[in-house]
Structures are given as structure tokens and as C-alpha cells.
Copies of this chain bind each other. A is one copy, B any other.
Amino acid sequence: MKIESIDFFYLSMPEVLDIGDGSQDALLVRLQAGGYVGWGECEAAPLVSIASLICPMSHSACKPVQDSVLGQRLESADDIARIGNLVRQNSLDLLQTDHTLSGIDIAMWDLLGQKLQTPVYQLLGYQCSYPKTPYASVLFGDTPEQTLQKGRQIRQQGYLAGKFGWGNFGHGTVASDVEQIHAAREGLGADGILLIDAGTVWVDDIEPAKLRVNALKDCRVTWLEEPFISGGFNSYHQLAKLSYPVLLAGGEGAHNYHLAQHMIDYADIGFVQIDAGRIGGISIAKKVADYALSKGTIYVNHTFTSHLALSASLQPYAGIEHYDLCEYPVEPQLLGTEMTHDHLLPDDNGKICLSDKPGLGISPDLEAIASYLIDVEITISGKRLYRTPVL
């Protein structure tokens, strides 16, 4: 079968607020081949990814992404790898490419799974899919008392693991951060899995990070996430030596295999956090999971949007039992929830399991999606290059 169409659908909440919530819009991808339909999702900036799909060619290494996908043979995992390489080669100088390819790659895996009546994780070579322990992400409270209450709520909601971050953390005094970390531990309870997200607050300055290390150790924090910007390898490397057994986590910003590989090799992160909707899709995410396994680094997904994106982000490490944690969108916007008929809900043990349905096992709710669909039109020299397709 050959890829007959790629359709990008820009979905958005009626109002998008200036807050750190990435579930306010989405770019849904539909791929059709041989009578089958596959669905995918690209993370962030829908209009820009649409433009990269259909833009006029600039030169031989700067072509619109669709040129390397439409009409291509899609029969096997090898074809997906081949098409991905073709996109990266033909759109090398188009920076947005990896984000755009991500949703297409995800949709190709979903479609191949439909055709072969097989879940994606089996196409990736895994025998089975292990249940993952979801962690709930929350902001630190304004006071330690609020943080403590948030920790308790996380446990009451059935989550064993909680991630606290952002807000004032890292901006105030060391003493107040130490109090916040202790409050989070107390709220989660002695057996809770405590994760701290510094949100790149120290850029690449290791000194303020050092001052919090003892509190992280005392409170048995499992990981400290993004103390520095992704490029601050040397700062990560130095802090990792001091913070052990508290491991460092990072990688959500990686938009290709090598960026993730270099964080593992040179930044000494203990957890590599990969968003399949950004890094080039399930294919590249799986390659990172394999590399992480060979290096003793723990792989974990990065997801804050729909359950389609969640399923895509879990497939690459579904079959590795000791990669137990998963990021779980606890409070997405209605769009994130309503986008799909199926949802990956915690089971009786509080674990998240992938569906054993073919492909991603998540079907979009076309009726619900229609109400979020944004009408986009791009015209160049009087010729319409893109108009929101019919659902």
C-alpha cells in the first residue's frame, strides 16, 4: 500500500491562556493508505507545523515535509524508518521538521498496526506491555502547608508518585526551597515516589543547585528534573556527581536522536524524558529507549496532552519492565480528554496499561473534535496551499 493522504487538523480550546498548560491546543494528523487510517499528534505550534508540511521548496535540502511522505510505500517497520530518513534528508534545513515528522511517524505506526492487526509495541519488538506507575504533576503550593496538602491529595487520588515544580522554586531562599521539599515528602508519605522539577531555573549555574542537594537527598527525591537548560551539559555533569543517589532528569526538549543521546553521554542524566510528539515520533523515541537501556539510563515519557499522544509516548518503552514510571496528564483541558473515545485510565493497582488493540489502540472522537477544529487557510501567489481538510 502507498500513502495516499496526510491531513493536519488544528484543534484549539476557544480561549488559549498564557499559562504553562500544553493541552490548550493540538495538531491531529490523519494518514490514509490502502483503505486504512492512522492517527498521530504533533506537539506544539500547530500553524508552524502545518506550514512546514506544505511550504514551497527552498532548495534540494529544504523541501516541504509532505513531499517525502505522500506516495511512499508503507508495508513494514522498515518503510517507516526509510520515510523518516527521507524526511530528515530532504527537509534538513527546515528547522520545524522533527516536530512535524513526529505526528506523521506516529500515524504511520498506528496505520501499520491497523493493517497487521497488532499493537504498536509488538511491532516495535516487545512481547508484552508492562503496566507503568503514573506520576501526578503539580505546582508547588505558595506555602509549605499548601504543598503538603497537595501531596496528600495526590495520594488520596490514588497516585503513588508525585512531581512538584515551578512556581517560586529556585527563585527564593534556600531555606524556603528546603521547606518546600520537606513538605512535599511529608504530604506524599514515606513510601511515595517524590520527583522535583526545577524547570531550568538555574540556567547553567551549578552553585544554587548545590545548595539544595542535601535536602533532595534527605527527602529521598527520585529525580531532580531540568535544574539547567538542555544545553548545559557540563553543569548537569558536575551536579550529577554531587547529587547521587538523587538522579538528574532531562530531555523533553530533544527534537532528534542525537540531542537525547548527548544528554545521556555528556550530561550524565539518570532519567531521559522523551516526547514522541517532538523527537521525530515513535521510531526515534524507541531508538533513544534502546540507547538508554545500553547505558543504564532510565527512560520515561514526556506527555501533557491527549491520550493519543500518551499512547504514542508509552509504546517506545512499553516492554521494558524496570522502566516503571510514566508521566500522566492528570488535569488536561477538555480538548485533551474529549479528543479520543478511548482513555488510558489507572487500573485497580493505580497502574497505566497500554491497550492491546491494533495500532495505538486509541480512536479519535470525530464528533467531539469537530467543535475544536480551527479553520486555516494559506495562500501563496494566489494559489491555496492549505485549507483545513474535512474530518
* Residues of A near any B CB (own CB < 8 A): 10, 12, 16, 18-22, 24-25, 43-48, 50-52, 55-63, 92-96, 98-99, 229-234, 253, 255-259, 261-262, 265-266, 278, 374-382
Contacts and interface: CB of A to CB of B under 8 A. Distances in A.
B258 A60 contact: no
Given A375-B380, A376-B379, A19 B60 contact: yes
A172 to B, nearest CB: 20
A197 to B, nearest CB: 14
B16 A57 contact: yes
Contacts of A232: 258
Contacts of A45: 52, 55, 58, 62, 93-96
Given A45-B52, A51-B47, A378-B47, A20 B59 contact: yes
Copies of this chain in the oligomer: 2
A93 B51 contact: no
A57 B17 CA distance: 8
Contacts of A60: 18-21
Contacts of A22: 58-59, 62, 93
Nearest to A43: B93
A43 to B, nearest CB: 7
A238 to B, nearest CB: 14
A231 B253 contact: no
Contact of A24 (B58, B262, B377, B379): B58
A374 B259 CA distance: 35
Given A96-B95, A382-B375, A44 B24 contact: no
A59 B96 contact: no
Contacts of A231: 256-259, 261-262
B55 A94 contact: no
A262 to B, nearest CB: 7
Contacts of A18: 57, 59-60, 63
Given A19-B60, A62-B22, A378 B381 contact: no
A362 to B, nearest CB: 21
Contacts of A266: 262, 266
Closest 9 CB pairs of A and B: A231-B258, A51-B51, A47-B55, A44-B93, A96-B96, A377-B379, A45-B94, A48-B51, A48-B52
Contact of A48 (B94, B98, B265, B278): B94
Contact of A95 (B63, B98, B380): B98
A258 B232 CA distance: 8
A42 to B, nearest CB: 10
Contacts of A93: 22, 43-45
A98 B48 CA distance: 13
A237 B258 CA distance: 15
A329 to B, nearest CB: 13
A98 B25 CA distance: 22
A92 to B, nearest CB: 7
Contacts of A94: 44-45, 48
Contacts of A10: 380
